[in-house]
Structure 1
Amino acid sequence: MILYSRSNSHTSLHAMYGLAMEIDDEIAADENDKEMLQEIVNNTKLSEGYLTLARDIEVMEAKSPEDIYKVHLIDGRGASSSLDSARQNLAATFVNAFVNAGFGQDKLMTAPSDSSSSGSSGNWLFKNKEHGKASAAASLGMILLWDTDSGLAQLDKYLHSTDTHVVAGALLGIGVVTCGVKNDCDPALAILMEYVNKDDSNIRIGAILGLGIAYAGSQKDELRVQLSAILGDPQATLEVLVFTAVALGLVFVGSCNEEIAQSIIFFLMERSEAELAEPIIRLLPVALGLLYLGKQESVEATAEVSKTFDEKIRKYCDVTLMSLAYAGTGNVLKVQKLLGICSQHLEKGETHQGPAVLGIALIAMSEELGAEMAVRSLERLLQYGEQNIRRAVPLALGILCISNPKVNVMDTLSRLSHDADADVSMAAIISLGLIGAGTNNARIAGMLRNLSSYYYKEAAHLFCVRIAQGLVHLGKGLLTLSPYHSDRFLLSP
């Protein structure tokens, strides 16, 4: 990430964490200084500084997915993958976006129309199917990350497409490209608001999530009014309503906003038994928990209300709220409570033990000793836990050591990547990408190359390997997924 000068460290921290701050005369009396500091807080020059750094260390050259896969280093099996072309192209889209994030150029989406490579952005876009097209269009937002002027101009052409998936992807891309960048004109708001009430569900979801990403943490009241109105729309599909709740959680993360919390609670209470059985409904407790992220006791009133929910979602919601409210606090009592939940034997097919495992990682991740103890506890869960717990353990390890490739965790995940249970092995592969995210770690890169050869006949596993490879080379090593600052002194929401 970009580090600003030490003299302006307090403003750069506000910028990194997306906190709104107006520079007044007490902070800077000189108008030029005030303007410069406001640009830092608004992240206006973030793309420019990022590209300057990339040029200085000579990593500007665009990389293709094949450059990351390094198939020539693998035996013949890895080169002749059985992965179906649509899924292979989707994997390449994600890898391309991760690797070239923020560089403004790549070999798939921004390649010139006369290019002899994979073709222009239009050609690559239509090598995908349905949601693959949406991902390809949205990936342009990642490639042009923080460059709002160029990014919005390039994404605009996709908004005129007759394919709803392309339009939805472009709207999501607008959210990604403007994420963390504050602009007085609010171009993202002006564009996305036009699409939140469209008839097509894909377009609505793209616009709603775009707003959630673009204004994450901003607590913008205009969005509260608009998005809360969608929650009460009887014509909206369940997917639209759930993603609206998630967007509200992102925009008002850590705000403890009671009005939004009540809207989500009422929405949950009104769901039928059939709707509560849908997997997507589990995002609603996550949306509710985001409102109380890291706020500890502030969640207690909402947690009490959650005890009145239908039994299909009650325990899941309770564990999720606790995990998010105490995330990053290192609260030992809450970790012990979650370990106690993991020790229970479930008879009814309940699903709350998975979030309990992830909650252990979220709570313990804030300091070194707690994280080390959590790793040991998770290894015990691997040995003695039931299958639904084992499936969550690799992801918990990935969260605990995100962008921090510890050798013991790396070895554990490498072992689990060959587990007999497909869910465990795929989670371990993704977690190898998480712990190595943005580090260019050579050992993890080698492990993933070997896994691509090992799973060359398994489409789902190979897809996970590709995603992990993209994460390891995130931003060619200039980006990180770690939320910490100053040796774990500060934790970004």
Structure 2
Amino acid sequence: MDKESVEATAEVSKTFNEKIRKYCEMTLLSCAYAGTGNVLKVQDLLGHCTEHLEKGEEIHQGPAVLGIAMIAMAEELGLEMAIRSLEHMLQYGEQNIRRAVPLALGLLCISNPKVNVMDTLSRLSHDTDQEVAMAATISLGLIGAGTNNARLAGMLRNLSGHCKDPDLLFCVRIAQGFVHLGKGLLTLNPYHSERFLLSPTALAGIITLLHACLDINSTILKKYHYVLYFVVLAMRPRMLMTVDENLKPLSVPVRVGQAVDVVGQAGRPKSITGFQTHSTPVILAAGDRAELTTEKYIPLSPILEGFVILRKNPDYMDDQ
């Protein structure tokens, strides 16, 4: 998407109250450029975040922080740089910026528990500002959504053991639910097809939840708790299941390993590294890729994710 696609809506938003207009402007801008990795737009949003405004005038800075994560989540390098920028904001930003940073970190590493982000969020979950602590707790759930990550589950158990505040405890329970999403068979990552395509529907569901968490005391902790259900839009299975042409389950050996970027390399380089061989159905973690080990079947999809139909290879000769 680009700026032209949201111009009509942006024009309508100019008739609103000043605060709402700025909030809409930031939200529309970040949605228009979501997943593009546009560095100029990230710099533009960073400029909005560095302004020191009077209380009540800074309402648009939260969506600007989320916008940085939405735009930069496209590829690995931009993602790492965005994480560093967000950590600078934690050190030097105003309090309202600090409340949005954990949510942005949660979006950048959704269903992908990176150790450095996990440690940052764990530290923020003990913050003196309760809203920062609650946002960090929800984000701990988001980065581990559907992974059953043992370290993350332990952190949340420890947090539930010593937190006295019922609101924070509610957030811990939500986060624990996210970590064990679908007993570890689902993911919230809006990227699919080997991180090539972005699902706008899935991203919309996550963004709705994050915008509600920007003012968690007035939304999720009051009478709008059902906003949590919007995250269902992003839930999808993260396993690889192979079926035959009659859609009957078919167990075949596959290699599962860390994906390697082979774009532009000559010959037929290996697309995965550090692989293990399993029989389908098999679960794919964040950044994993699968490939068939047998030539007995030909997949009808070039990308082995979700449900894949296999056809028997007519040229296959059994060694025996």
TM-score by length of 2: 0.60
Query: Separation in 2 of the partners of 1:302 and 1:462?
Result: 39
Q: Which residue of 2 aligns with 1:371?
A: 79
Distance 1:402 1:393 in 2: 14
Counterpart in the other structure of 2:69 = 361
Is the Cα–Cα contact under 8 Å of residues 37 and 73 in structure 2 kept in the other structure?
yes
- Structure-2 separation of matches of 1:436 and 1:490: 21
Aligned-partner residue type, residue 22 of structure 2: K
**Equivalent AA in structure 2 for residue 337 of structure 1:** D
Gaps of 5+ in 2: 201-320
- Equivalent residue runs for 1:68-79 within 5 Å: none
**SS of residue paired to 1:391:** helix
Matched to 1:367, the amino acid is E
Hey, what does 2:180 align to over in structure 1? 473
State the match for 2:159 in structure 1. 451
Give the secondary structure class of the aligned counterpart of 1:388. helix
Q: Which residue of 1 aligns with 2:10?
A: 303
Higher relative strand content: 2
- The aligned residue for residue 104 of structure 2 is 396
Aligned equivalent of 1:424 = 132
**2-side partners of 1:431 and 1:438: how far apart?**
13
- More relative contact order, 1 or 2 (CA 8 Å, 6+ apart): 1
* Other structure's SS at 2:56 match: coil
One-letter amino acid of the structure 2 residue matched with residue 467 of structure 1: I
The 2-side partners of 1:486 and 1:470 are apart by 26
- 2:24 — aligned with what? 317
Residue number in structure 1 paired with 2:45: 338
User: How do 1:41-440 and structure 2 match up within 5 A?
Assistant: 294-350=1-57, 351-440=59-148
Quote the offset at 1:295 in angstroms: 4.7
Instruction: Find the aligned partners of 1:470 and 1:401 in 2 and give their Cα distance.
Output: 17
| Per-residue deviation, 1:356 | 0.5
Q: Deviations over 1:304-338 (max 9, x none)?
A: 34233221311111111101111111111111111
The residue that corresponds to 2:198 in the other structure is 491
Answer whether contact 2:19 2:60 (CA < 8 A) is retained: no
Residue in structure 1 matched with residue 262 of structure 2 by the alignment: none
2:147 touches 2:184 (CA, 8 Å); kept in 1?
A: yes
In structure 1, distance between residues paired with 2:161 and 2:149: 19
Tell me, in whole angstroms, the C-alpha distance in 1 between the residues paired with 2:74 and 2:47. 21
1-structure distance, mates of 2:55, 2:152 = 39
Q: Give how far 1:410 is off.
A: 0.3
Please report how far the alpha carbon of residue 454 of structure 1 lies from its aligned counterpart in structure 2 after TM superposition.
1.6
Q: Report which of the two has the higher share of helix.
A: 1
Looking at structure 1, the residues matched to 3 and 198 of structure 2 have their Cα atoms a distance apart, in angstroms, of 15
Q: In structure 2, how many angstroms separate the alpha carbons of the residues matched to 1:364 and 1:320?
A: 15
Deviation, 1:297, is 2.9
| CA distances 1:94-152 after superposition (whole Å, capped 9, x unpaired) | xxxxxxxxxxxxxxxxxxxxxxxxxxxxxxxxxxxxxxxxxxxxxxxxxxxxxxxxxxx
Q: CA RMSD in A?
A: 1.2
Work out the CA distance in 1 between the residues paired with 2:106 and 2:8. 31
- Whole-angstrom CA distance in 2 between matches of 1:306 and 1:470: 36
CA distance in 1, matches of 2:93, 2:197: 33
In the alignment, the residues of structure 1 paired with residue 19 and residue 117 of structure 2 have an alpha-carbon distance, to the nearest angstrom, of 34
The CA deviation at 1:348 is: 4.9
1:367 Cα deviation from its structure 2 partner = 0.9
Tell me by how many angstroms 1:485 deviates.
1.3
**How many Å apart are 1:302 and its aligned residue?**
2.7
Counterpart CA distance in 1 for 2:56 and 2:113 is 34
For 1:409 and 1:387, locate their aligned partners in 2 and report how far apart those are by CA, in whole Å: 20
SS of the aligned residue for 1:487 comes to coil
Q: Deviations over 1:453-479 (max 9, x none)?
A: 120x21111111111001000001110
Q: Distance in 1 between matches of 2:129 and 2:48?
A: 22
Distance 2:56 2:122 in 1: 29
What is the letter of the counterpart of residue 422 of structure 1?
Q
1:324-376 C-alpha deviation (Å, 9 max, x unpaired) = 11111111111111100000011151200001011111111111111111100
> Quick one: distance in 1 between partners of 2:46 and 2:11?
21
Task: Supply the AA of the counterpart residue of 2:179.
Answer: V
| Matched residue type, 1:364 | A
Q: Matched residues in 2 for 1:473 and 1:295: separation? A: 36
* CA-to-aligned-CA distance 1:403-448 (integer Å, 9 cap, x gap): 0000110000000010000000011011000000000000100100
Please name the residue that 2:222 is paired with: none
User: Normalising by the residue count of structure 1, what TM-score does the alignment of the two structures yield?
Assistant: 0.40
Compute the displacement of 1:491 (Å): 0.7
